[in-house]
């Protein structure tokens, strides 16, 4: 009797803590929105000032690779959501499979991104003294492209670190990490959402 | 335990110096911040002292202009990001907030400690930049000077500020969640002390504005380090965009440097006038209104930057609007004193000084919000005097008032009252002697940020430097008597001020877990007996 009421209070405390953690994460995501927001403002202003350069810039992007990456990331978020469901059902094996899918798709995304970056370097489209085109607004477009997708990729790396941590937590003899999966999932979906804005801004103008 | 010693409390809970660096106790983390920002304050103050001494002579005999530029940049960066912004939230907020809402700790104690380490890492980079030769851009890092031409250690300085920003964000996040989730039973939103409301408003600003600073400095550093920025006019970039982004953070940040002070002063007025704060709900809403309006007025820093006239008009109007909630606060503090039984203890002296100086700072802000007047006084000592009246006359007074008010709770002992009162008066007089002449200098046209000035400004500059010496003495006294009282002061007892507020319901210093029994709140704050 005593032990069951004690476990009832401890599970109530866990539920309380879970609300607290999620509120903390949402506030953090609000910070992140503003963090990317500064660069989105810069993008809007320069696109308004130099519409032609931005269309020219978008034509330099590899449309196929960008679109593929969008699909890769959306599917990874789908597996993240499945993982969250598996964790809440206490299905350790299913959770592991889902997290592995998420991690693999994340790595694929970064790999494709690396191929794209490499081709920009090879074509001398990286802003700076080595820039192949005439110096001007096109460089601003490319700077924003590298800064924004670069920061997004950095967030992906953090996300992959978190997924690895979840896999490690899930493998041990400890209980299924329901709460951490939900938290990392929120973060992963957020990073996904950022890409959903980046993709049309950099790949679709003038198309 | 002998009768003349306070209970050991959190100070003796874990022995050893190392325990302080591993602590998760919000009270100890508050003290870690207290030590760090006092150190930064002394560095910033030393730079100010050098400048004031140099300005004793119009020809700039003591230091060359380049050194002078580095000194005011150092003063600005250190005082703003490493003293004013963390002063009340991170020291008093960390110490008092959980106690004031009847909680054991903040919501995320580990994050709280991490936030201090991040702050110190940022601080170390800034100290490195200073030791390596300093930066001459001013604290605003305007492009293209900072990104292209300056030969100072801009990267290290900007990186330090960037990193310290994350400390602000994590503290803000922690406070928001703490206030939402950890209030004691019965402590509804409109029973929260105004200090808690002010921390809430401040935290919202910290969380929403600081990331913009981070991204702005990131883009500036990209331009400086790799030559690939977006503000570079050579490739069609707009240096003004940097100013817009910078002030979108830095104007709200100005309210980070005043709102918590308003919260502290509200506590002091209620306690030392033995009165409920007049218009409590309006006071809470005014804090939120100032925080919200603060996001819409950044353009008033750029009236002479060639921004559009229509933008200027809108920013001017919005800036005037900020004066409404600010004035509401001043009137309500004054109304709180009406029919109160007022005790002029040290914290109250600071609170009264705050209202006097903040009012002057606020009213001169209206001059600066007027487009035509701003063209005349922009970039002069008038603006230096204006923001020092708000930042130093306002926030530093409130900070010192708060430190004295909660000192018995922090240390468990009383500070020597008479010397503390004298130092409050010395600070008030020294402050006015330092900065009032600067209003006149600015109005007469003396530009800020120059080591050399025309001889007709000599007398007023000598007054200002003399005032700075008095102000310095005033700041030195608490640095001596507060540490002394920490070891030798008379035991304070749980509630030496006979104040309401949950923090006074536990021992001084509080035990590590704050309360022996979770307090239950049944009344509104400031429940002082009605005046006779």
Is A11 a residue whose pLDDT tops 90?
no
Q: How confident is the model at residue B226 (pLDDT cuts 50, 70, 90)?
A: confident
Contact B173 A20 (CB under 8 A): no
pLDDT tens for B93-123 read 999 999 999 999 999 999 999 999 999 999 9
Q: Would you say the pTM of this structure is higher than 0.80?
A: yes
Domains of chain A, CATH where assigned: 2-203 (1.20.120.80)
Please compute, for residue B276, the number of CA atoms within 13 A of its CA located in the half-sphere on the CB side.
14
Q: How confident is the model at residue A4 (pLDDT cuts 50, 70, 90)?
A: low
Count helices and strands in chain B by DSSP H and E runs: 18, 0
CA A175 distance to own-chain centroid: 27
Token match 């009832």: residue? A8
* String of DSSP letters for B93-106: IHHHHHHHTT-SS-
- B412 Rama class: left (phi>0) / alpha (psi -120 to 50) / beta: left
What pLDDT was estimated at residue A136?
85
Mean pLDDT of B291-310: 93
User: What gap in Å lies between CA A80 and CA B183, rounded to an integer?
Assistant: 34
Q: What's the mean per-residue pLDDT of chain B?
A: 95
User: What gap in Å lies between CA B208 and CA A32, rounded to an integer?
Assistant: 9
pLDDT tens for B444-493 read 999 999 999 999 999 999 999 999 999 999 999 999 999 999 999 999 99
d(CA B228, nearest CA chain A) in Å: 5
pLDDT tens for B310-359 read 999 999 999 999 999 999 999 999 999 998 999 999 999 999 999 999 99
Token match 């997924």: residue? A163
User: Can you name the residues that pair with B380 across neighbouring β-strands?
Assistant: B447
Is B2 a residue whose pLDDT tops 60?
no
CB-nearest partner of B173 from A28, A126, A136: A28
Q: Which residue of B has its CA nearest to A141?
A: B230
Contact A35 B222 (CB under 8 A): no
Q: Look at chain A and count its residues.
A: 207
Contact B238 A41 (CB under 8 A): no
User: What gap in Å lies between CA A92 and CA B486, rounded to an integer?
Assistant: 55
Q: How confident is the model at residue A35 (pLDDT cuts 50, 70, 90)?
A: very high
CB-nearest partner of A127 from B210, B211, B228: B228
Architecture category of domain B9-505 in CATH: Up-down Bundle (1.20)
Partners of A50 on chain B (C-beta within 8 Å) are 236
Reduced DSSP (H G I as helix, E B as strand, rest coil) percent helix, strand, coil of chain B, to 5: 70, 0, 30
User: What gap in Å lies between CA B352 and CA B333, rounded to an integer?
Assistant: 9
Tokens read off for B52: 């004031």
What pLDDT was estimated at residue A9?
79
Partners of B107 on chain A (C-beta within 8 Å) are 20, 24
Partners of A39 on chain B (C-beta within 8 Å) are 215, 219
Q: Which residue of B has its CA nearest to A136?
A: B235
Partners of A19 on chain B (C-beta within 8 Å) are 181
Q: How confident is the model at residue B158 (pLDDT cuts 50, 70, 90)?
A: very high
Q: Which residue of B has its CA nearest to A49?
A: B236
CB-nearest partner of A30 from B208, B229, B236: B208
Q: What is the CA radius of gyration of chain B?
A: 23
Q: Which residue of B has its CA nearest to A144?
A: B230
pLDDT tens for B499-532 read 999 999 999 999 999 999 999 999 989 998 876 6
Token match 């109530």: residue? A12
Q: How confident is the model at residue B216 (pLDDT cuts 50, 70, 90)?
A: very high
Contact B215 A127 (CB under 8 A): no
pLDDT tens for B250-284 read 999 999 999 999 999 999 999 999 999 999 999 99
Mean pLDDT of A134-154: 92
Residue A37 touches chain B, beta carbons under 8 Å: yes
What pLDDT was estimated at residue B8?
85
User: Comparing B143 with B1, which gets the higher pLDDT?
Assistant: B143
Domain boundaries, chain B: 9-505
Token match 């982004």: residue? B245
Contact B215 A137 (CB under 8 A): no
Please report the beta strands in B384-528, taking only residues with DSSP state E, as ranges in sequence order.
Answer: none
Partners of A14 on chain B (C-beta within 8 Å) are none
Contact B177 A41 (CB under 8 A): no
What pLDDT was estimated at residue A50?
94
Q: How confident is the model at residue A12 (pLDDT cuts 50, 70, 90)?
A: confident
Question: Which of B230, B242, B248 is the best residue to mutate to test the A interface, defined by the most A CB atoms within 10 Å of its own CB?
Answer: B230
pLDDT tens for B77-98 read 999 999 999 999 999 999 999 9
Question: Which of A15, A127, A151, A154 is the best residue to mutate to test the B interface, defined by the most B CB atoms within 10 Å of its own CB?
Answer: A127
Please compute, for residue A150, the number of CA atoms within 13 A of its CA located in the half-sphere on the CB side.
13
pLDDT tens for A42-87 read 999 999 999 999 999 999 999 999 999 999 999 999 999 999 999 9
What pLDDT was estimated at residue B1?
40
Asked if the interface predicted TM-score (ipTM) of this complex is over 0.90, the answer is: yes
Q: How confident is the model at residue B44 (pLDDT cuts 50, 70, 90)?
A: very high
Partners of B177 on chain A (C-beta within 8 Å) are 20, 23-24, 27
């Amino acid at each position: 009797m005593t032990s069951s009421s004690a476990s009832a209070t401890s599970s109530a405390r866990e539920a309380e803590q879970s609300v607290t953690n999620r509120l903390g994460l949402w506030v953090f995501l609000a910070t992140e929105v503003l963090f990317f927001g500064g660069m989105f403002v810069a993008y809007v202003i320069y696109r308004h000032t130099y519409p032609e350069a931005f269309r020219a810039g978008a034509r330099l992007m590899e449309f196929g690779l960008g679109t593929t990456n969008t699909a890769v990331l959306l599917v990874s978020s789908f597996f993240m959501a499945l993982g969250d469901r598996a964790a809440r059902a206490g299905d350790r094996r299913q959770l592991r499979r889902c997290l592995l899918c998420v991690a693999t798709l994340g790595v694929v995304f970064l790999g494709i991104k690396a191929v794209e970056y490499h081709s920009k370097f090879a074509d001398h489209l990286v802003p700076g003294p080595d820039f192949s085109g005439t110096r001007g607004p096109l460089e601003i477009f490319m700077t924003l492209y590298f800064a924004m997708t670069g920061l997004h990729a950095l967030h992906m790396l953090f996300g992959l670190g978190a997924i690895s941590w979840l896999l490690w937590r899930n493998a041990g003899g400890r209980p299924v990490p329901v709460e951490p999966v939900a938290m990392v999932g929120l973060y992963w979906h957020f990073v996904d959402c950022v890409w959903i804005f980046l993709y049309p801004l950099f790949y679709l103008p003038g198309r | 335990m002998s009768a003349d010693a306070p209970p050991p409390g959190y100070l003796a809970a874990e022995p050893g110096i190392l325990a302080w660096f591993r602590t998760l106790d919000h009270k100890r983390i508050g003290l870690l911040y207290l030590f760090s920002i006092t150190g930064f304050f002394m560095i910033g103050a030393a730079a100010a002292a050098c400048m004031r001494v140099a300005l004793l002579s119009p020809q700039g005999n003591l230091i060359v202009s380049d050194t002078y530029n580095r000194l005011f940049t150092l003063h600005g960066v250190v005082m703003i990001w490493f003293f004013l912004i963390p002063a009340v939230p991170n020291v008093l907020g960390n110490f008092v907030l959980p106690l004031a809402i009847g909680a054991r700790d903040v919501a995320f104690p580990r994050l709280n400690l991490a936030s201090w380490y991040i702050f110190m890492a940022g601080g170390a980079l800034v100290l490195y930049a200073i030791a390596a030769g300093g930066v001459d851009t001013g604290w605003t890092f305007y492009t293209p000077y900072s990104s292209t031409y300056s030969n100072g250690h801009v990267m290290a300085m900007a990186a330090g500020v960037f990193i310290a920003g994350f400390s602000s964000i994590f503290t803000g996040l922690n406070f928001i969640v703490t206030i939402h989730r950890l209030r004691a039973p019965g402590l509804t939103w409109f029973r929260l002390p105004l200090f808690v409301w002010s921390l809430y408003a401040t935290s919202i600003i910290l969380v929403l504005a600081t990331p913009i600073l981070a991204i702005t400095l990131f883009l500036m550093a990209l331009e400086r380090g790799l030559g690939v920025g977006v503000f570079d006019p050579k490739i069609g970039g707009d240096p003004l965009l940097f100013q817009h982004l910078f002030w979108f953070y830095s104007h709200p940040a100005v309210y980070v440097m005043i709102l918590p002070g308003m919260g502290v002063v509200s506590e002091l007025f209620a306690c030392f006038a033995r009165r409920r704060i007049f218009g409590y709900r309006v006071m809470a809403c005014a804090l939120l209104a100032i925080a919200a309006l603060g996001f819409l007025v950044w353009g008033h820093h750029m009236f002479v930057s060639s921004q559009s006239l229509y933008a200027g008009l809108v920013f001017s109007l919005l800036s005037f609007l900020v004066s409404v909630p600010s004035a509401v606060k001043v009137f309500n503090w004054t109304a709180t004193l009406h029919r109160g039984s007022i005790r002029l203890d040290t914290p109250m002296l600071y609170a009264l000084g705050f209202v006097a100086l903040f009012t002057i700072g606020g009213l001169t802000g209206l001059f600066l919000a007027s487009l035509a007047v701003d063209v005349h006084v922009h970039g002069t000592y008038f603006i230096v005097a204006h923001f020092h009246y708000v930042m130093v006359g306002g926030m530093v007074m409130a900070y010192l008032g708060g430190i004295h008010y909660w000192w018995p709770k922090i240390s468990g002992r009383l500070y020597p009252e008479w010397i503390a009162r004298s130092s409050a008066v010395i600070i008030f007089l020294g402050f006015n002697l330092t900065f009032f002449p600067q209003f006149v200098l600015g109005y007469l046209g003396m530009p800020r940020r120059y080591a050399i000035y025309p001889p007709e400004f000599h007398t007023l500059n000598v007054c200002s430097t003399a005032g700075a010496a008095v102000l310095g003495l005033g700041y030195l006294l608490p640095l001596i008597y507060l540490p002394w009282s920490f070891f030798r002061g008379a035991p304070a007892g749980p509630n030496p001020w006979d104040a309401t507020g949950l923090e006074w319901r536990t021992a001084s210093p509080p035990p590590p877990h704050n309360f022996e029994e979770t307090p239950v709140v049944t009344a509104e704050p400031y429940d002082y007996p009605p005046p006779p």
